[in-house]
Amino acid sequence: MSEYDNDKSKPIKVVFSEGCFDDFEGTQEELDELVSKIQEMAASGELAENMIPVDEFEDIDEEVLDLLPLLSTGNTRH
């Protein structure tokens, strides 16, 4: 049993890190809808129901971690 199973009645507090949406390519209205949906999911408990504790993630190969920065959308050529 994870620590999240202990208190399902307590809502998850959602905190967005500064700059986390800097690369968002939608409109402000779309961003507002996204943030609202995430907050609704947290308040309803849906977010907690679908959460996977970090200790259950598969180990990520170091080579994959080295490649992740290359997947950035900021330097795409067409």
Beta carbons within 8 Å of 38's beta carbon, 6+ residues apart = 14, 47
Residue-wise pLDDT tens digits, 18-65: 999 999 999 999 999 999 999 999 899 888 888 777 777 777 778 877
Q: Which pLDDT belongs to residue 9?
A: 63
CA-CA distance, 46 to 43, in Å (whole number)? 8
3-state secondary structure the chain: CCHHHCCCCCCCCCCCCCCCCCCCCCCHHHHHHHHHHHHHHHHHCHHHHCCCCHHHCCCCCHHHHHHHHHHCHHHCCC
